[in-house]
Chains A and B, each alone.
Chain A
Amino acid sequence: GAGVSQSPSNKVTEKGKDVELRCDPISGHTALYWYRQSLGQGLEFLIYFQGNSAPDKSGLPSDRFSAERTGGSVSTLTIQRTQQEDSAVYLCASSPNPKGTQYFGPGTRLLVL
């Protein structure tokens, strides 16, 4: 079946602009995670959604970052007033339940000039 999809695959923006990154999880998966992968680094947890519960935002690096998940499916990660240090690959993962295996999408490569 279809895996996790993310769009756009690449995004180039200017410093100070806002960007929106989209994640379509695997159908039926209730848990959704966002991670950030900086150049040559491991993945860093950002935010977690489970069903209709309030999200766990403990990994968001600043208040410029926010995310929402509509209808328990598609999620959007928004970065306001982008900075050069926001340049990274943003990965989304979904899981059938909170304890389940996480399946990753291909990521969105963000470059802030």
Chain B
Amino acid sequence: GENVEQHPSTLSVQEGDSAVIKCTYSDSASNYFPWYKQELGKGPQLIIDIRSNVGEKKDQRIAVTLNKTAKHFSLHITETQPEDSAVYFCAASKFQGAQKLVFGQGTRLTINP
């Protein structure tokens, strides 16, 4: 089955700098790659997603890139702000009657003021 590896497990950056989180996946048939942000005591919230027919997607300060050949995808956050501090999860899936997401282990991002 699918396996998703996420790095780093923790990341600390200065406010205003950029943060990059990387994930690799094992199943070449996976075609949907969402990123979720989870704040303490809350459920994960989708922040951006990408499908395998595109290589990059951007939404304001957040962007995701996908390299299907290498089977890895990355989250880029620019001009980081204290409210970006949270745990971020990547996930991958292929549609088989359902979108059963396989998640990475998470990255705890801390933005230092």
With A and B bound together, what is the CA distance between A43 and B6 in angstroms?
Answer: 13
B29 within 8 Å of A by Cβ?
A: no
How far in angstroms is the closest Cβ of chain B from A40? 8
Instruction: Mark out the residues of chain A between 55 and 71 whose CB falls within 8 Å of any chain B CB in the assembled complex.
Output: 56, 58-59
A45: chain B residues within 8 A (beta carbon): 100-102
B61 within 8 Å of A by Cβ?
A: no
The count of chain B contact residues (Cβ–Cβ below 8 Å) is 24
Evaluate whether A105 and B99 lie within 8 angstroms (CB atoms) in the complex, with A42-B104, A43-B89 already known: no
A101: chain B residues within 8 A (beta carbon): 34, 46, 49
With A and B bound together, what is the CA distance between A95 and B99 in angstroms?
Answer: 10
How far in angstroms is the closest Cβ of chain A from B40? 11
Contact-size category for A: 20 to 34
Which residue of chain A has its CB nearest to the CB of B96?
A56
Is the pair B44, A91 in contact by a Cβ cutoff of 8 Å? Answer: yes
B67 within 8 Å of A by Cβ?
A: no
Is the pair A48, B89 in contact by a Cβ cutoff of 8 Å? Answer: no
Evaluate whether A56 and B98 lie within 8 angstroms (CB atoms) in the complex, with A101-B34, A105-B43 already known: yes
User: Which residues of B are in contact with A by a Cβ distance under 8 Å?
Assistant: 4, 6, 34, 36, 41-46, 49, 89, 91, 95, 97-106
What are 10 A-B residue pairs whose CB atoms fall within 8 Å in the complex? A31-B98, A41-B106, A45-B100, A45-B102, A56-B100, A91-B43, A104-B36, A104-B45, A105-B43, A107-B42
